[in-house]
Amino acid sequence: MNYYQILNVELDATPEQIKAQYRKLAFQYHPDHNKTPEAQTQFIEITKAYDVLIDTELRKQYDTYLTILLLQAASAYHEIKNGATPTPYKRTKNPNTKRKKNELVFSDKTIHRGYIFSIIGMLFSLVIFIDYFLPTYKVNQTVLNFYRPPIGSQKLVTQKFTIPLNEYVNPMYFKTNTALAIHLTPTLRIVKTVELQNNNVAFNPDYGIYSTFIFFPIVILLISLNGIFFEHEPYYIISSGLINAILLVITVLLILI
């Protein structure tokens, strides 16, 4: 198996040329983009070739191994051409074959998981943004309690919700049993506004996924798009998936809280 032929690059190809060719071929043969039966096998071979040729030390070892094979093949050819019986030789074993094979099997699974987390992150962040602009779902509630804790925002307590409100909100608006209309996003049921039914005054929560923590879904969306559409090197795909997984957990916790 000639790694240079697999990536269709010259023996003296630069790392930049190898990276560019790998991105092109990896995108062409990745199972998510190519559904032909042989695509997965070709993708694994392309990734294996790239992992060896992009690593300076592994490439030196592979070049030595490839040179020995070529010299042995040339010697056998000349012996056959001259009518002699080729000198038997023991095939030189690539010292990196076993180690790299195990690494690539793991890497392929990890790359796939990275793509999955990036796709989940993209869809989840899009749901958050779209949900914000859809018509709200209204829930009628009454005030059970309104208090200011020693640290943090004022808290409005109703039958179903505990909502943080800005410290400058006048507590007189929220006397016990005051009728409220809580406006929620239709899909995720996140509180958008608190409206007083008697005078149509509305307040936004002091913090939440649509205010203080809005950068979480924005970052998830940007990283997801980068991991899915723009970066095709295993390192970046895996990194994007890992970061997305962490941010997804944090964002879900913020929504639930």
pLDDT of 184 reads 95
Answer yes or no: are the C-beta atoms of 156 and 186 closer than 8 Å. no
Token pair for 160? 């179903």
Question: What is the CA angle 49-69-100, rounded to 5?
Answer: 30
Q: What is the pLDDT, as a whole number, of residue 35?
A: 84
Shared-domain flag, residues 91 and 147: no
Give the residue numbers spanning the domain of 163: 135-203
pLDDT tens, position by position, 176-200: 999 999 999 999 999 999 999 888 8
Q: What is the pLDDT of residue 154?
A: 93
Least confident range from 51-55, 77-81, 118-122, 197-201: namely: 77-81
Tally of structural domains, the chain = 2
Please tell me the predicted confidence (pLDDT) of residue 94.
52
Residue 250 lies in a domain: no
Tell how strand 202-203 and strand 179-184 pair up: unpaired
- Is the same domain home to 100 and 139? no
Measured CA to CA, the distance from residue 254 to residue 205 in angstroms comes to 13
Cβ atoms of residues 182 and 136 within 8 Å: no
The three-point CA angle 219-222-225 to 5° equals 145
Give the closest residue to 222 by CA, choosing from 133, 128, 125, 115: 125
For the ranges 196-200, 201-205, 228-232, 243-247, the lowest mean pLDDT is seen at: 228-232
Residue 107 predicted with pLDDT over 80: no
Q: Give the tens place of pLDDT for each residue, 69-82.
A: 878 777 776 667 66
Q: Say how far apart CA 240 and CA 227 lie, in whole Å.
A: 6
Confidence of residue 105 (pLDDT cuts 50, 70, 90): very low
Judge if 84 and 157 occupy the same domain.
no
The one-character DSSP state at 228 is I
Rounded to two decimals, the pTM is 0.55
For residue 34, the model assigns a pLDDT of 85
Q: Is there a single domain that holds both residue 8 and residue 92?
A: yes
Output the pLDDT for position 165: 94
| For range 51-58, the mean pLDDT | 90
The phi, psi pair for 249, rounded to 5°, reads: -60, -45
Say how far apart CA 109 and CA 115 lie, in whole Å: 10
- Round the average pLDDT of the chain to a whole number and report it: 85
Residue 99: pLDDT above 50? no
Q: How many Å apart are CA 189 and CA 136, to the nearest integer?
A: 9
Residue 146 pairs with which residues in a beta bridge? Answer: 156
Distances (CA, A) of 125 to 87, 121, 223, 224: 65, 6, 11, 9
The residue out of 104, 125, 143 marking a domain boundary is 104
Helix, coil or strand: residue 177: coil
Place 232 in a pLDDT band, splitting at 50, 70 and 90: low
pLDDT for 143 beyond 60 = yes
Same domain as 91, residue 33: yes
Helix (H, G, I), strand (E, B) or coil at 165: strand
In this predicted structure, the answer to whether residue 87 has a pLDDT above a threshold of 60 is no
pLDDT, average across residues 126-133: 95
pLDDT band for 236, please (50, 70, 90 cuts).
confident
For residue 191, which phi and psi values (nearest 5 degrees)? -65, 125
Residues 95 and 44 in one domain: yes
Last residue in a domain, options 104, 126, 145: 104
**Are 99 and 152 part of one and the same domain?**
no
- CATH code of 90's domain: 1.10.287.110
pLDDT digits (tens, 9 = 90+) for 30-42: 888 888 888 888 8
Hey, what are 191's tokens? Answer: 């509180």
The CA distance from 196 to 156, in Å, is 12
The answer to whether residues 155 and 149 touch, using CB atoms and an 8 Å cutoff, is: yes
Question: How far is CA 90 from its chain centroid?
Answer: 45
